[in-house]
């Protein structure tokens, strides 16, 4: 099967998919001096009427959506159908509700045009919230890869307890806890919708002397994760690991996590990591992506 | 009538539309630390079931398309229909053909989703090429504002001859030449599709001692315009003005144009100009936009 890899797909994913037997073709791309994005599909490298697309929506999230739609139009031009699209990191997925009146459901707005290209299979890695897209863009059949247990096992850590930094991540904690047959809990997180400030409630956590794993989908500026790690050390945890699918680590996230004494952050290669501190372990999840594509 | 102004619309356009009697509402917007764009429509400021949208696609062209679709989804959320969209500067419009196999028709890919929101009236200012969009996105009725004569008259320059720097701009030169009842011509431009390098052919130009106006739609890095100005001075023109609708002036465009001795560049306020050298005259075209909106 052919896979069209868009511009920001990590080389490790491309290598991994090739090892899994996929014929990976990479788009030719550039940015014009004024900032417009350009791509071209090397038509001669494709001899099939259907293709999988693999992309990731970071960095330059808005440009990545533009890139995806340019790729779909280019495929239309050469008469090749996009059978399924794997989006390793799906950006804009946190704006999945109208939290305030007058807001968009951003992720619905940005995925809705897929229906214009008869794309109805989407593979995503640890989508922030599944339900919105399913209800807002009904034509899409979404296959969600939850990689936390795979990430934990790839690195081989000891797990005594699993913590979700907020209720939204509870299903992630549960999946890891069940795999290791240990307890799990979550913290109450409050986010001020206007200022963006995060506060977590005081909570009794039975973690004294334990190896605790914090699981989440995205670490962006690191604020939520740092607060969770702080709370765990305060409650007597002996080691705190984090397993976060998408480690964007923007701004001073790395310093913030080092300041609270993070032991290890395990993440997936869903984006290109330009800086990899010693405590960041990037695990190749191409076997999971390959499996999901084969089933789609 | 209500107008929703998106984030990058120049203040002079907003003021101008208000003077023309429009009720202009501005979106609330920000960029998250990881780079995602956010917007919210101040619902309470709108008491109508239909609204015009005004936007411009520069800077951050890709983000601007994302912004437009977020705005359309947000309007849907508050039950307000976008009656017509005025795009002051329509980015991605130069990739309006599959110049090489495997390329997208970028502008079609990016406008096609408008059909999902039942938008079928578009007002644009000096679209790069009209035909593609009309044939690729048939649902769209496009009203194109050609502002060159308006710009020339606003500044009140003397015009003896009009030159298009390439054949694609000939209709622009013709419209100005007819207004002033003078001659016009064009240069043969060759662009290397791979390297992007521009070459213009030697051509006899009867411009000795004349005030010549070069007209075009976009000046980006300034290469084409600088070459045209050089050719005109070489052919004996006494003064060379340029009237270019969208003056992006990226990279070292300003220096490039100064080096060839540009006398004056007249442009429209279709984008925000962060740097305005003494020879750049930015003309407010909100009266033209207002008129086009009223007719749409």
Touching B: A residues 31-70, CB under 8 Å:
32-43, 58-63, 65-66, 69-70
Query: For position B134, what pLDDT does the model report?
Result: 82
Provide the pLDDT confidence category of residue A179 given band limits of 50, 70 and 90: very high
The 10s digit of each residue's pLDDT in A73-107 is 999 999 999 999 999 999 999 999 999 999 999 99
Name residues whose C-beta falls within 8 Å of residue A30's C-beta, 6 or more positions apart in sequence: A37, A38
Query: For position A196, what pLDDT does the model report?
Result: 67
Asked if pLDDT for residue A109 goes beyond 90, the answer is yes
B86 near A CB under 8 A? no
Query: For position A294, what pLDDT does the model report?
Result: 96
Give per-residue burial for A149-167: e unless 16+ CB within 10 Å, then b: bbbbebeebebbbbbbbbe
- Identify all chain A residues contacting B66, using CB atoms and an 8 Å cutoff: 62, 65-66, 92, 110
- Identify all chain B residues contacting A92, using CB atoms and an 8 Å cutoff: 36, 66
Mark yes or no for CB contact B113/A108 under 8 Å. no
Probe site for chain B from A62, A80, A90 (most B CB atoms < 10 A): A62
Question: Which residue in B83, B189, B227, B256 is the catalytic one?
Answer: B189
Provide the pLDDT confidence category of residue A202 given band limits of 50, 70 and 90: low
Of B53, B28, B281, the residue nearest B147 (C-alpha): B281
Asked if pLDDT for residue A33 goes beyond 90, the answer is yes
Touching A: B residues 258-287, CB under 8 Å:
none
Mark yes or no for CB contact B101/A71 under 8 Å. no
A105 near B CB under 8 A? yes
Among chain B residues, CA nearest to A29: B103
Query: For position B215, what pLDDT does the model report?
Result: 97
Q: Which residues of chain B have pLDDT under 70?
A: 196, 202
A4 near B CB under 8 A? no
B238 near A CB under 8 A? no
Q: Mean pLDDT of all residues in chain A?
A: 95
Write out the DSSP string of A10-56.
-HHHHHHHHHTT-EEEEPEEEE-TTS-EEEE--GGG---SEEEEEE-
Among chain A residues, CA nearest to B194: A30
Among chain A residues, CA nearest to B100: A40
Determine whether A167 is an active site residue: no
Query: For position A247, what pLDDT does the model report?
Result: 98
Mark yes or no for CB contact A66/B70 under 8 Å. no
Of B44, B75, B25, the residue nearest A105 (C-alpha): B75
Tokens representing A159 are: 């797990």
Nearest CB partner across the interface for B62, out of A63, A101, A251: A63
Phi/psi for B25 (5° steps) reads: -110, 130
The 10s digit of each residue's pLDDT in B112-126 is 999 999 999 999 999
Tokens representing A284 are: 């190749």
Query: For position B135, what pLDDT does the model report?
Result: 87
B197 near A CB under 8 A? no
Asked if pLDDT for residue A221 goes beyond 70, the answer is yes
A74 near B CB under 8 A? yes
CA distance B42 to B50: 15
- Identify all chain A residues contacting B110, using CB atoms and an 8 Å cutoff: 66, 69-70
The 10s digit of each residue's pLDDT in A117-149 is 999 999 999 998 878 888 888 899 999 999 999
């Amino acid at each position: 099967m052919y896979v069209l890899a868009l511009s920001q797909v990590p080389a490790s994913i491309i290598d991994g998919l090739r090892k899994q037997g996929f014929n990976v073709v990479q788009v030719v791309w550039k940015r014009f001096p004024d900032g417009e994005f350009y791509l071209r599909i090397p038509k001669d490298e494709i001899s099939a009427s259907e293709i999988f697309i693999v992309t990731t929506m970071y960095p330059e999230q808005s440009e990545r959506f533009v890139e995806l739609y340019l790729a779909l139009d280019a495929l239309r031009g050469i008469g090749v159908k996009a059978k399924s699209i794997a989006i390793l990191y799906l950006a804009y997925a946190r704006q999945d509700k109208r939290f305030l009146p007058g807001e968009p459901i951003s992720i619905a707005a940005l995925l809705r045009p897929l229906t214009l290209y008869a794309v109805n299979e989407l593979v995503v890695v640890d989508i922030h919230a599944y339900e919105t897209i399913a209800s807002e863009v009904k034509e899409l059949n979404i296959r969600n890869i939850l990689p936390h247990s795979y990430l934990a096992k790839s690195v081989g850590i000891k797990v005594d307890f699993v913590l979700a930094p907020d209720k939204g991540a509870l299903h992630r904690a549960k999946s890891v806890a069940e795999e290791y047959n240990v307890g799990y809990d979550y913290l109450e997180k409050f986010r001020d919708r206007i200022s963006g400030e995060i506060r977590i409630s005081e909570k009794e956590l039975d973690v004294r002397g334990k190896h605790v794993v914090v699981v989440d989908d995205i670490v962006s500026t690191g604020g939520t994760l740092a607060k969770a790690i702080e709370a765990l050390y305060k409650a007597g945890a002996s080691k705190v690991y984090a397993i976060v699918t998408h480690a964007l680590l923007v701004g001073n996230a790395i310093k913030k996590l080092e300041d609270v004494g993070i032991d290890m952050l395990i993440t997936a290669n869903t984006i290109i990591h330009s800086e990899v501190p010693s405590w960041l372990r990037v695990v190749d999840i191409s076997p999971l992506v390959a499996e999901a594509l084969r089933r789609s």
